[in-house]
């Protein structure tokens, strides 16, 4: 189980970094914004089974879109 969690964490770090690049912000700022609206867990971890089969670019775009939608509410 720890190997799976390590893999989830690595995917989350890569997705946060790629999404931050798309938005022109730092990975730290991206993480803070995602965490503030509850998306670190909800999007990256709960959807891991779906997300890890997609390209990093697709996941990053999905993270940015979700963040923008959640920050509006």
pLDDT by residue for the chain (73 residues), tens only, comes to 567 667 767 777 888 899 999 999 999 999 999 989 988 877 666 656 665 567 778 888 988 999 999 998 7
Cα–Cα distance for residue pair 8/73, rounded to 1 Å: 27
Beta strand spans in the chain (E)? none
Cα–Cα distance for residue pair 16/22, rounded to 1 Å: 10
Residue 65's pLDDT is 93
SS3 48: helix
Whole-structure pTM value: 0.73
- Torsion sign across C-alpha atoms 39, 11, 63, 22: positive
Which of these, 66, 13, 20, lies nearest to 43 by C-alpha position?
66
């Amino acid at each position: 189980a720890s190997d799976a969690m390590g893999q989830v964490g690595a995917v989350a770090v890569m997705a946060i970094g790629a999404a931050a690049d798309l938005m022109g912000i730092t990975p730290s700022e991206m993480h803070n914004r995602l965490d503030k609206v509850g998306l670190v867990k909800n999007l990256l971890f709960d959807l891991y089974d779906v997300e890890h089969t997609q390209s990093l670019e697709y996941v990053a775009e999905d993270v940015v879109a979700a963040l923008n939608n959640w920050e509006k509410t």
